[in-house]
Amino acid sequence: MRRSWLLAGTILGMAVVPHGAWAATNAQIVNAIDSGLSYLASTQQADGSWSYGGYDQAATGAVIGAFMSQKSLWGSNAAAYQTIVNNGMNYLLGSASTSVLPTNRGDGNNPCVGSAGCTGVYWYGNGEATYTTGIVAAAIGQVGAANPNAIATTSGPLAGMSYEEIGQGIINEYASGQATTSNQQWSGAAGGWRYFPGQSSGTGDADGSTTQWAVISMIYGQSLGATVPQYVKTGLTQWLAFDQAPNGSACYQGPGSGLCEMSDTGSLLIGLALEGRGKTDPQAVAALNFLNSNWQSTANSTWYGNFGQPYAMWADYKALELQLGLTDNSTITNLGSCGTLDAGVTCNWWENYNEWLVDNQNGNGSWNGYGYWTDPLSTAWDVSILGGTVIPPPTTVPEPATWVMMLAGLAGLGFVGRRAHKERLAGAL
């Protein structure tokens, strides 16, 4: 089944009552973030993970990402939350998998580049490593940003590796497992990824959903100083051209699959960002127009919709943060209510998300999610959206020290100042 790795999430829906109608002011957003983090802190398991029906690595990566993206709001919980992050990272680093990669992936290209040599790094993720590794890679990037050259762990499968080396190992694994015309059953799959890097089983070839996780891993790996081979981006260009429908949407396995919707369109925009293709690129313009036309859609029929569909909201948040920034109000204009905003804040796509999230948070700090994507995955992603998580700029990659300074600057600001600073930062890159 499509995206079957999250089937386990269906057992985790919660019968709790949402908050009453709130306006998305900064104070209310901060309160929602605080409540979300407090809830997530209370649900960590003894081994440092968060339970998600066998996909605990994915859930843990998402939760650590939520904590790290909101570090400036930890306040008096700083020591406790740092311990929570440390324990979660110990679980992830200890449950990683490694591989010795071939020097020729079948098309003459060598995936063994950079500091990790021919070592590949991934998280098995209950057999769906592409998804899980992508979610974990973001957490590795966020935790390692402060010192990419630091040794991440002294024990387990990644013992002695720095965060940069782990990031490179992740990129190597994806580079080796990218779909090519020599290893896939149908030529349209070339340039993308499937559930497990290198998977090839007829209908098991690359798809738009899994491809975004390979791409986001490379974006975070680059932020740590790792290298993405140019041939990988060239292959990705081929996939992105194949996967876009005439109406601008991106699809599960090309327009012929009949599954073309919001989350895969976000995936396409993230891929374009990795290639350095911004919002004026013809493919990006078409995709953004599709998102705008369907912006007010709500979760329906499992895969479709925007609001209330955590997978789509997180994919489109990442895409729009990378392509537009958080204050753009001229591209996504088909908006719903943003509630009562603070002085000087304009209703736009992000504020529209914020209003919906604040209004639909449960009293215990969680979000129910939808379909396969339920708590804690939905809660972690929704906190990350509310907090205006900065995705590392993939095309103008600062030296690691510069990226550390950028993050440090964000951490020292209050929420209102952090919002404005992010936009100034984006404009400077």
Length of the chain equals 429
Give the C-alpha separation, 385 to 306, whole Å.
13
Quote the number of domains for the chain.
Answer: 1
387-402 burial code (b ≥16 CB/10 A, e <16): bbbbbbbbeebbebee
Mean pLDDT of 45-73: 97
Q: Does residue 234 carry a pLDDT above 70?
A: yes
Residue 293 has pLDDT above 90, yes or no: yes
Amino acid letter, 407: L
Q: What is the four-CA torsion angle of 243, 244, 249, 253, rounded to 10 degrees?
A: -20
User: Which helix H or strand E contains 60, and what residues bound it?
Assistant: helix 56-69
User: Using N-to-C axis directions, what is the helix angle for 377-386 and 310-323, rounded to 10°?
Assistant: 30
For residue 99, the surrounding DSSP H or E stretch is strand 97-100
Q: Which residue has the higher pLDDT, 3 or 50?
A: 50
Which residue pairs, CB below 8 angstroms and at least 24 apart, start in 409-418?
410/72, 411/71, 411/72, 412/72, 413/72, 414/72, 415/26, 415/29, 415/30, 415/72, 415/73, 416/26, 416/342, 418/72, 418/388
Question: What is the CA angle 265-225-268, rounded to 5?
Answer: 5
* pLDDT at position 190 over 90: no
Determine the pLDDT at residue 198: 64
Q: Which two tokens stand for residue 110?
A: 């060598």
Q: Are strands 250-251 and 119-122 parallel, antiparallel or unpaired?
A: unpaired
Average pLDDT over residues 236-259: 95
Phi, psi for 121 (deg, rounded to 5)? -125, 135
Tokens, residue 374: 């339920």
**Contact partners, residue 336, CB within 8 Å, separation at least 6:** 295, 296, 307, 352, 355, 356
Predicted confidence (pLDDT) at residue 404 exceeds the cutoff of 90: no
Phi then psi for residue 304, to 5 deg, are -105, 165
| Torsions phi, psi for 195 (to 5 deg) | -60, -35
pLDDT of amino acid 113: 85
> Residue 119 — left, alpha, or beta (φ > 0 → left; ψ -120 to 50 → alpha)?
beta
Q: Which of 358, 368, 389 is nearest to 34 (CA)?
A: 358
CA-wise closest residue to 68 among 99, 37, 30 = 37
Residue 384 has pLDDT above 50, yes or no: yes
Q: How many Å from the N-terminal Cα to the C-terminal Cα in the chain?
A: 41
Smallest CA-to-CA distance from 221 within 116, 92, 102 is with 116
The answer on pLDDT for 246 being more than 90 is yes
Instruction: State if pTM tops 0.75.
Output: yes
How confident is the model over 304-356, as pLDDT tens digits?
999 999 999 999 999 999 999 999 999 999 999 998 999 999 999 999 999 99
Q: How far apart are CA 38 and CA 36, in angstroms?
A: 5
222-245 mean pLDDT: 95
Q: Is the pLDDT of residue 106 over 50?
A: yes
Residue 335 is part of which domain span? 4-428
| pLDDT for residue 114 | 82
**Band (84; pLDDT cuts 50, 70, 90):** very high
Interacting residues of 65 by C-beta distance below 8 A, sequence separation 6+? 135, 138, 139, 142, 380, 384, 389
CB neighbours of residue 279 within 10 Å: 18
CATH number for the domain that contains residue 273: 1.50.10.20
Residue 216 near residue 232, CB atoms below 8 Å: no
